[in-house]
Amino acid sequence: MNEETKLPIVMVLDQDEIFHFIVTKVLNRDGINCNVINYNSITSAVSYLLENAESEAELPDLILLELYFHSDQDGWVFIELFEKIKQRLIKQPKVLIVSYTMKHADMTRVSSHQTIFDFVSKPLDTDSIDYIRDLLKPANEMN
């Protein structure tokens, strides 16, 4: 597949399987397509990034990250690990927090983290979906 036909890649890191399904469906409708890779484990997602660190074609363009997990690891653990490995990645994906609720302390943390591109609330509405799709457009289409 040549560079012009390469679909953007979105990594979804969330324990909610329904959210994985919804994101895949809404990002691949209306003729706009992308490859969605789903993870419900921080460790598995980081392993994927490390295994593909030198493969631009396999690394995500965008990571949709839920902060709150039903385990001892959460989105902040991913952010800390990502910051340690991101210099090893040939391509730097944008990290977008996608969460139902945000504590005030987390909002402050989000705004102070350079690794985090932005925050979007769940459930995803039309504006949020359009925003995510715009983030996936190549730079030459952003005009």
CA dihedral over 114, 117, 121, 122, signed as positive or negative: negative
φ/ψ of residue 55, rounded to 5: -115, 95
CA dihedral 35, 123, 78, 88 (to 10 degrees): 30
**Residues 6+ away with beta carbon under 8 Å from 13:** 39, 40, 42, 45, 63, 64, 65, 66, 75, 78
Query: How does pLDDT run across 1-38, given as a tens digit for each residue?
Result: 444 557 899 999 999 999 999 999 988 886 678 999 99
Domains of the chain: 3-136 (3.40.50.2300)
Query: How does pLDDT run across 28-74, given as a tens digit for each residue?
Result: 886 678 999 999 999 999 999 999 999 999 999 999 999 988 877 88
